[in-house]
Amino acid sequence: MSQEQLDPNAESVQNALETLVELEETGTLDDLAAAANVVSLAAEAVDEDMVRSTTRALVHAGELFDSAAGEPEAIRNLELLTAALSETAADPAAPPEGVGPIGAARKLNDPQVKRGMGFLLTLLAELGDQLDTRARRYDFDTGIDDERI
């Protein structure tokens, strides 16, 4: 910063003072000071491992969103599952009535249940396939997925 002195009567100084007075009168200045203290405390509390861990989590989340963006089928299936979950129990405090083994066996004849079972069985097969694939490429010592580096 230059060594020049500020003219207390300059328009920029007057504008800055008016802004400070307004911030003080509305209590915003206190809020800003409190927020600065929180940021300062958070900065002191954050260590290198926390930054690495958070960065790693954000990278994984970004990869997940990126892969989902390239998989319109996955997006449609997530929408389908979300809608089905909403319709199943609109109020989780009042879930559908329980069904015993005989009632479950009867439901297996319902065409909608058959269709859903087909979807779930295909999903389970794909899930098993993904588990095998990822287990082969995942480095359990470092926690790094070798193909995503």
pLDDT tens across 113-131, in order? 999 999 999 999 998 998 8
Distances (CA, A) of 8 to 11, 12, 16, 88, 137: 9, 9, 11, 69, 67
Sign of CA dihedral 141, 144, 147, 149: negative
96 and 89 in contact (C-beta within 8 Å)? yes
Distances (CA, A) of 75 to 15, 29, 62, 148: 52, 45, 15, 21
Task: Specify the pLDDT at position 138.
Answer: 67
13 and 6 in contact (C-beta within 8 Å)? yes
Task: Specify the pLDDT at position 119.
Answer: 92
Task: Specify the pLDDT at position 118.
Answer: 94
Largest distance between two CA atoms of the chain: 90
Distances (CA, A) of 99 to 89, 114, 147: 15, 16, 44
**Any idea which residue has 């929180």 for tokens?**
38
Q: Which residues of the chain have pLDDT under 70?
A: 1-3, 138-149
